[in-house]
Amino acid sequence: MMYMAEMKLQYTQFMVNDKQMPEIDIPPEVAYVISYIQLIAFSGMGKNASSETRAQAIFPIEDVIINMKIADFCYPLKSAIMLFLEHIYFDVEKDMNEDFIGQVWAIVEYVADDLQKFVEVMQRSKRQGGAAMARGGAEGGTLDLVNEMGSVEELNKV
């Protein structure tokens, strides 16, 4: 959490200085954690009960949820956590217990929030006249579908 606060502080300083493209350093400690989570995730690839159980003991679902909340805008960390969830908790050999089923919906809520944020950012950048964010992404037919589906604001009203 301390490192995330440090990264936010960097961002605030850039905003105060009014620079065009702020840069945020990922502290080496966070980079280490990201690589560590990825490494454990890869150990549980496929149906591999023994590795999955050990990995679940190292990084329990409660900690995964807390880290998902802390990660906030640090997408490399979030990516590592999602990779971990995929290989260690979702694509598993053993059946999951009741505790896991009760807690997993919190993760789904975080993912839904992130997706909402992503769509909002992309819609805004599209409206602002094709910033680099949407380059190559919003093509013909698919854009029509997005327009048909409406905006995120409309989705929230539902």
Partner 1 sequence: MDVNKNFEFVTAFGTFKVSELMQQYVFEDCFPSIQKFLALRLPMKEKEKGLIRKMLKLMFMSVGYKSKAIHEKRIQQFVQEVRAIPQLQDLGGDVNLASLGITTDDQEEN
Backbone angles phi, psi at 32, to 5 degrees: -65, -45
Structure-token pair, residue 56: 């679940």
- Name the CA radius of gyration of the chain, rounded: 19
Reduced to 3 states (helix: H, G, I; strand: E, B; else coil), residue 6 is helix
- Residue that the structure tokens 């999602």 belong to: 82
Site string for partner 1, 102-121 (x = CB under 8 A): --xx--xx-xx-xxxxxxxx
Binding mask 3-22 for partner 1 (x = CB under 8 A): -----x--x--xx-----xx
Smaller CB distance to partner 1: residue 66 or 127?
A: 127
> SS3 for 88-146, per residue?
HHHCCCCCCCHHHHHHHHHHHHHHHHHHHHHHHHHHHHHHCCCCHHHCCCCCHHHHHHH
CB 88 within 8 A of CB 59: yes
* Identity of the amino acid at 14: F
Q: Which stretch binds partner 1 (CB under 8 A): 42-50, 53-61, 62-70, 146-154?
A: 146-154
Nearer to partner 1, 63 or 120 (CB): 120
Using the minimum distance from each CB to partner 1, give the nearer residue, 49 or 101. 101
Among 3, 6, 24, 48, binds partner 1 (CB under 8 A): 24
42 touching partner 1, by CB under 8 A: no
| Sign of the torsion angle spanned by Cα atoms 122, 124, 126, 129 | negative
Site string for partner 1, 73-92 (x = CB under 8 A): x-xx-xx--xx-xx---xx-
Binding site for partner 1 (CB under 8 A): 8, 11, 14-15, 21-26, 28, 31, 72-73, 75-76, 78-79, 82-83, 85-86, 90-91, 96, 101, 104-105, 108-109, 111-112, 114-122, 124-125, 131-146, 149, 152, 155, 158
